[in-house]
Amino acid sequence: MSSEWPTLNYDQWSATCDTLHAHTQVLGKLAAALAPAEPELQHAALRLTARGWETLPLPAPDGSGALVVALDLRVHEALVEHSDGGSRRVALAPDRPVGVVTREVLEMVRELGGSVEIDTTPQEVWWSVPLDEDSEHATYDPDAVASYFAAATRAALVLAAFRAPYRGRSTPVNVWWGAFDLAVSLFSGAPADPPSGDFIMRNAMDAQEVAVGWWPGDPKYGRAAFYAYAHPAPDGFADAVLSPDTARWNDGLGEYVLDWDDVVASRDPHRSALEFAHSAFQHSCAVCGWDPALPASAQGNPPPIR
């Protein structure tokens, strides 16, 4: 990976972004269908690895072992691997719409691990065509995907460094296929009322948390950015002045944001993004009344390694 932080212009790659987003939904729905259920829907989250988006090892439906389903963004292929060494691959390319790739991925899973069915309705997106019937999303620019992957990797390293010293319960760097974002959640240990009763909200947001993440942009916010929010957020949560000074509250999103362009333009992008994460977390813990030992641990006090 180059030492230069890549630029990422959502307007220029939005069509490819939508196609890639749709491909990730197939992986996420397989994880949701096959993995043992965890609190806050953690079993449905994906991971960003050195080759792209991946599921954790999933129980094969026929009991024969474990399956990993991945999008290899280096060679631009979708693949399924079995713990016995079997594997199948199909290309990701401009002439291969989401529907074609979806049907082939599901067939590869069935060949290697047994019968599986998923709900092919896309989630948390602005289109509704079932994934296995989607012929609309077929734009796939490998260069744009490579830039996205390089940016996402940088963002994931920031989030991992932010989370590392925290001594409360936290998530790894999750890749969420609904909103197409990366995020870590740090929990206080207290329960919380979900913001609504729909399936995702009542299961994913039933604990007091601060989330810090990154997304590559979408139609609601057409720029790549880091973000941070607290749940539940008390009155006055939006009134903070965070660091660095380019960070700001966005009313439309209900979150603090730090645009990717401002991070890339800073003298030390990693440090700038990490400063935002720490600033948002310290503010959140203060106004939400967390045990002071928890935000102190996120700053490395006490140190994580002695």
Low-confidence ranges of the chain (pLDDT < 50): none
Looking at the chain, how many residues does it have? 306
CA dist 60 and 222 (Å) reads: 39
Question: Cα 6 to chain center, whole Å?
Answer: 19
- Three-state DSSP class for residue 188: strand
Which stretches of the chain are DSSP H helices? Answer: 10-34, 98-113, 142-163, 199-204, 260-265, 269-288, 293-298
CA dist 52 and 274 (Å) reads: 22
Q: How, if at all, do strands 66-72 and 207-215 pair?
A: unpaired
Report residue 135 as tokens: 């012929």
Report residue 233 as tokens: 């957020």
CA dist 50 and 127 (Å) reads: 30
CA dist 285 and 292 (Å) reads: 8
pLDDT at residue 2, rounded to an integer: 58
φ, ψ dihedrals at 230, nearest 5°: -120, 145
CA dist 161 and 278 (Å) reads: 10
Is 151 within 8 Å of 8 (Cβ atoms)?
Answer: yes
Is 202 within 8 Å of 231 (Cβ atoms)?
Answer: no
> Rounded to whole angstroms, what are the CA distances from 239 to 9, 32, 60, 77, 284?
29, 37, 49, 45, 11
**Closest-CA residue to 174 (of 202, 224, 211):** 211
DSSP character at residue 234: P
pLDDT at residue 195, rounded to an integer: 85
**Closest-CA residue to 20 (of 212, 194, 231, 175):** 175
Using left for φ > 0, alpha for ψ between -120 and 50, and beta otherwise, residue 85 falls in left
Dihedral through CA 121, CA 42, CA 191, CA 254, nearest 10?
Answer: -60
- Three-state DSSP class for residue 108: helix
**Closest-CA residue to 160 (of 169, 173, 143, 177):** 173
Residue pLDDT, tens place only, 257-268 = 999 999 999 999
